[in-house]
Amino acid sequence: MTQSLYPAGIARGWRVLDGRSSMPSEVFDVIVVGSGAGGATAAEVLATRGLRVLIIEEGGLRDAGDFRNDELKAYAQLYQEGALRTTEDGGISILQGRTVGGSTTVNWTTSFRTPDSTLAHWHDQHALSEATPAHLAPFFERIEKKLGIAPWVAAPNENNAVIQRGCEALGWHWEAMQRNVRGCWNLGYCGTGCPTNAKQSMLVTSIPNALEHGATLLHHTRALRLEWSGTQVSGVVCQPMKTSLDASEGSSKTIRARHIVLSGGAIQSPAVLLRSRVPDPFQTLGKRTYLHPVCMNMAFFDQPIDGFYGAPQSIYSDEFNAIPSTGYGFKIEVAPMQPSIVSALMGSYGSEHTERMRQLPQANLMLALLRDGFASDDPGGTVKLRKNGDPVLNYPLRAALWNTVRTACERMADIQFAAGARTVMPVHALGQPCESPAAFREHLATLPMRIFDMRLSSAHVMGGCRMHPRPEHGVVTPKGRHHQLENLSVFDGSIFPSSIGANPQLSIYAWALKLSEELAETLAPSVSPV
Ligand SMILES: Cc1cc2nc3c(=O)[nH]c(=O)nc-3n(C[C@H](O)[C@H](O)[C@H](O)COP(=O)(O)OP(=O)(O)OC[C@H]3O[C@@H](n4cnc5c(N)ncnc54)[C@H](O)[C@@H]3O)c2cc1C
Output 267 or 1, whichever has higher pLDDT. 267
Is 0.95 surpassed by the pTM of this model? yes
Q: What is the mean pLDDT of residues 247-251?
A: 61
| pLDDT for position 3 | 72
Q: 334 C-alpha vs ligand 1 centroid, how far in Å?
A: 20
Taking only the tens place, the pLDDT of each residue in 355-387 is 999 999 999 999 999 999 999 999 999 999 999
Specify the ligand 1 atom closest to the Cα of 504: 11
- Statement: residue 243 has pLDDT above 80: no
The amino acid at residue 130 is E
338 annotated to a ligand binding site:
no
CATH architecture of 154-179+294-371+398-450: 2-Layer Sandwich (3.30)
What mean pLDDT value characterizes the chain?
95
Rounded to an integer, what distance in angstroms lies between the CA atom of residue 472 and that of residue 315?
41
Taking only the tens place, the pLDDT of each residue in 190-234 is 999 999 999 999 999 999 999 999 999 999 999 999 999 999 999
Rounded to an integer, what distance in angstroms lies between the CA atom of residue 8 and that of residue 43?
20
Using alpha carbons only, give the angle 501, 504, 508 rounded to the nearest 5 degrees.
130
| pLDDT for position 370 | 98
Return the percentage of the chain with pLDDT > 70, whole number: 97
Specify the ligand 1 atom closest to the Cα of 503: 11
* Domain 6-109+112-146+189-283+464-520 class in CATH: alpha beta
Say if ligand 1 is within 6 A of residue 181 CB.
no
Taking only the tens place, the pLDDT of each residue in 96-139 is 999 999 999 999 999 999 999 999 999 999 999 999 999 999 99
Q: 528 C-alpha vs ligand 1 centroid, how far in Å?
A: 27
Return the percentage of the chain with pLDDT > 90, whole number: 95
| pLDDT for position 4 | 85
Q: Please tell me the residue having the least CA distance from ligand 1 atom 53.
A: 96
Taking only the tens place, the pLDDT of each residue in 441-465 is 999 999 999 999 999 999 999 999 9
Distances in Å between the Cα of 204 and the Cα atoms of 62, 66, 461 are: 11, 14, 23
Q: What is the mean pLDDT of residues 320-341?
A: 94
| pLDDT for position 307 | 97
Specify the ligand 1 atom closest to the Cα of 179: 8
| pLDDT for position 526 | 44
Query: What pLDDT band is residue 249 in, cutting at 50, 70 and 90?
Result: low
Q: 265 C-alpha vs ligand 1 centroid, how far in Å?
A: 6
Outline which parts of the chain fall under CATH 3.30.410.
Answer: 154-179+294-371+398-450
Outline which parts of the chain fall under CATH 3.50.50.60.
Answer: 6-109+112-146+189-283+464-520
Which residues of 328-455 form beta strands (DSSP E)? Answer: 330-334, 363-370, 382-385, 391-394, 423-426
The amino acid at residue 144 is E
Q: 107 C-alpha vs ligand 1 centroid, how far in Å?
A: 8
Q: What is the mean pLDDT of residues 454-477?
A: 98
Backbone phi, then psi, for 486, in 5-degree steps? -70, -35
Say if ligand 1 is within 6 A of residue 191 CB.
yes
